[in-house]
Amino acid sequence: MPELPEVQTVVSDLEKKVVEKTIGDFGSEWRKAVRPSFVEFRKGVIGKKIVGSRRIGKHIVLSLSSGDSIVIHLKMTGHLLFKNKEIRSWSTKLFEERVNGYVRHWFVFKDGCRLEFSDMRKFAWVALVKSDKVCDMKEIVCLGIDALDSKLTFKVFNDLLNKKPKSKIGILLLDQHWVAGIGNIYRSEILFDAGVRPERLVGDLGLGERKKIYSAMRMILRKAVKLRGTSDMDYRDTDGKKGSFQNFLKVYRRTGEKCVGCEGKVKTFKMGQRSVFYCDKCQK
Ligand SMILES: [Zn+2]
């Protein structure tokens, strides 16, 4: 599932590629995922110019000239593909990759460019909301502070940890209501880097361990943004290209492989319905 770095990559791409473009048409072959309804959405976006692109947690928000906003959640397998009028040969090849072929919705701009929404699993959604009501959406109103927000200093992070002494740190990092943006890939990487086992209770973590978790979180997410995200499975950027943080993963989906920090092997167990990856020896 796309997490903060992948969604940030898409939002930054869209800033360059679709802001200032006017929507000429919208189509969908999976109308259930279009809110409030396909007809209302289509009517609300046609003829409107996109004036901004930003991220809230794992949501993409495109603001329109009309005072409405398009809100998109990529969920498990969703990704957005931007197609120029003249698609170059390298991009045609990428767009033909199977993972990019599940186009459920599409925007056609007045200048002939297209933004297509590929989503194999069909869990992703797109909504039209009044711009001043975006933060009141049920999925957004409950979000915690963003994991890369400049206001999230170590002091603020530590105060947030102090509110959850009985939580397991591996579960808490996934809790979007606590801190937004981290999912399954980055929680394992953050805890490995910090040397802390995922099942540890927050209340038992020392100040040094808390500082290591905080630093690992900021460092890993920033590095992943710089590397345009992790494409271990379906995630692709708006060119249909893979990110490259998967080349730097130390534990995620490496079960049974040799640990990068010791002679042991990477292990896994289910935590919060998702697999968490760790090293017995490197993490205390
Ligand atoms: Zn190890």
**CA 184 / ligand 1 centre spacing (Å):** 19
Same domain, 22 and 123: yes
Query: CA-to-CA distance for 193 and 209, rounded, in angstroms?
Result: 11
Q: Which pLDDT band holds residue 103 (cuts at 50, 70, 90)?
A: very high
- Residue 283 inside a domain? The answer is no
Residue 214 has pLDDT above 80, yes or no: yes
Same domain, 81 and 170: no
pLDDT in tens, 230-262: 998 889 999 999 999 999 999 999 999 999 999
pLDDT over threshold 70, residue 162 = yes
Catalytic residues: 2-3, 58, 274
CA of 243 relative to ligand 1 center, distance in Å: 26
- State mean pLDDT over 46-64: 98
User: Do residue 36 and residue 157 come from a single domain?
Assistant: no
Q: What is the CATH number of the domain that holds 203?
A: 1.10.8.50
pTM for this entry: 0.95
- The answer to whether 249 touches 148, Cβ cutoff 8 Å, is no
Cα(148) to ligand 1 centroid in Å equals: 27
Tell me the three state secondary structure of residue 136: helix
Using pLDDT thresholds of 50, 70 and 90, give the confidence band for residue 88.
low
Q: Nearest Cα to 213, choosing from 168, 253, 173, 267?
A: 173
Average pLDDT, the chain: 96
Q: Angle at the Cα of 70 (from 149 to 113), degrees rounded to 5?
A: 110
pLDDT score of 259: 98
Does position 195 have pLDDT exceeding 90, yes or no? yes
Is residue 284, in this structure, part of any structural domain at all? Answer: no
280 CA from centroid of ligand 1 (Å) = 7
Q: What is the pLDDT of residue 232?
A: 87
pLDDT at 137: 98
Do 231 and 270 fall into the same domain? Answer: yes
Domain boundary among 108, 141, 174: 141
Q: What is the CATH number of the domain that holds 101?
A: 3.20.190.10
Range(s) of the domain holding residue 124: 4-141
The tally of domains found in the chain comes to 2
Which residues have CB atoms below 5 A from the ion given as ligand 1?
259, 261-262, 264, 279, 281-282
- Specify whether 40 is located in the same domain as 53: yes
pLDDT exceeds cutoff 70 at 39: yes
Residues 21 and 68 in one domain: yes
Predicted local distance difference test score (pLDDT) of residue 86 = 73
Residue-level pLDDT at 89: 63
Which of 141, 167, 193 is at the close of a domain?
A: 141
Residue 165: asked if its preceding bond is cis (omega within 30°), the reply is no
* CB distance 283 to 196 below 8 Å: yes
